[in-house]
Amino acid sequence: MPYTAKPDRYDAADKNWFRRCGRSGLLLPAISLGCWHNFGAPGTDSALHNDEPSFHENAKRLLFTAFDLGITHFDLANNYGPPYGSAEERVGRILKEDFAAYRDELIIATKAGYDMWSGPYGNWGSRKYLLASLDQSLKRLKLDYVDIFYSHRPDPATPLEETMGALDQAVRSGKALYAGISNYRGGYTAEAVGITELHGMAKPIIHQPRYSMFDRWIEKDLLPVIERLGLGVIVFSPMAQGLLSDKYLTGIPADSRAGASGTFLKPQQITDDKLTKIRKLNDIAQERGQSLAQMALAWVLRFPSVTSALIGASRPEQIKENVEALKAGAFVGEQLERIEAILT
């Protein structure tokens, strides 16, 4: 049966749900959906859908649920999967078969900058790699353009003028509507934007850094630069790969990221000290009438300069929980002070 989006998908949105991306015309939802681990090959998702039909059906349900709840932004990269490229292929199939009528309501982003193919031109930030990768991404996504195309990380060996020039060409060619950067430190961000202004290039309008209660580097290094330059921010790993949820309150479950092999979150990262902090943070979340995951999202969104928080999900229920993150209202000073005391 063809997918039909809920007609009231925007009606219930909080007045702060759509947030302006810096000084651009782009509005992003407070919560955006990342399409990485749960959109690749069968058996690679957290829910372990080992056959293609059930895996694809779950991926569709994730995107349908997100869009029906007002999440209009789906975030990808060329090497998301696994294997590389498979997440774009899967999302592209769903976009073509189920979302064609809603394309103009969607913000689809992809990136290039990490390892993608063999040889000297399948990594980092050269014009050759970025523009070739964008062409490949468009084919996999079955789209004429993406809304945002990112340089996924800075390249220490390629002149920054070349990387920014490639993003400029992507925008001027119509293959991307906006340019973005990811994982750039504050000083490098300022230099990148300065190059675009000096040479009349398309300016990046958005930065995608890692940020959570356990990884706060952007507060002093990046956010002051972002605010001065007028870029938006979409943060990834706001729940510290699931650590800031109720999943680890009593230890490491076997079906968690830390309990599975070959993931980024390792059991040795979950120390007794960190578990103690998680439990104390959970107490504050409960006082606010939230889950710990919801509070973690609300916390990263407390800065006006943070446009959106990027979540991953293996089940639609996780998305439904996360979109409620702002319902508890703003933090009061006493709550922020208690959180700060726990984290320091």
Scanning the chain, the segments in alpha helix (DSSP H) are 52-68, 86-98, 127-141, 160-172, 186-199, 218-221, 223-229, 272-287, 292-300, 316-322, 333-343
Confidence of residue 75 (pLDDT cuts 50, 70, 90): very high
- Say how many CA atoms lie within 13 Å of 63 toward its Cβ: 30
pLDDT at 256 over 90: no
Average pLDDT over residues 253-263: 54
pLDDT at 42: 96
| Average pLDDT for 77-89 | 98
What CATH code is assigned to 21-249+291-333?
3.20.20.100
> What ranges do the domains of the chain cover?
21-249+291-333
**pLDDT at position 11:** 87
Identify the burial level of 185 via C-beta atoms within 10 angstroms of its C-beta, where 0-12 means exposed, 13-18 middle and 19 or more buried. middle
pLDDT, position 53: 97
- Closest by Cα among 254, 334, 249 to 293: 249
Q: What pLDDT does 224 receive?
A: 98
pLDDT digits (tens, 9 = 90+) for 109-132: 999 999 999 999 999 999 999 999
pLDDT digits (tens, 9 = 90+) for 129-159: 999 999 999 999 999 999 999 999 999 999 9
pLDDT grade, residue 258 (50/70/90)?
low
For 192-234, how does the pLDDT look when each residue is reduced to its tens digit (9 = 90+)? 999 999 999 999 999 999 999 999 999 999 999 999 999 999 9
Q: How far does Cα 161 stand from its chain's mean position?
A: 26
pLDDT at position 257 over 80? no
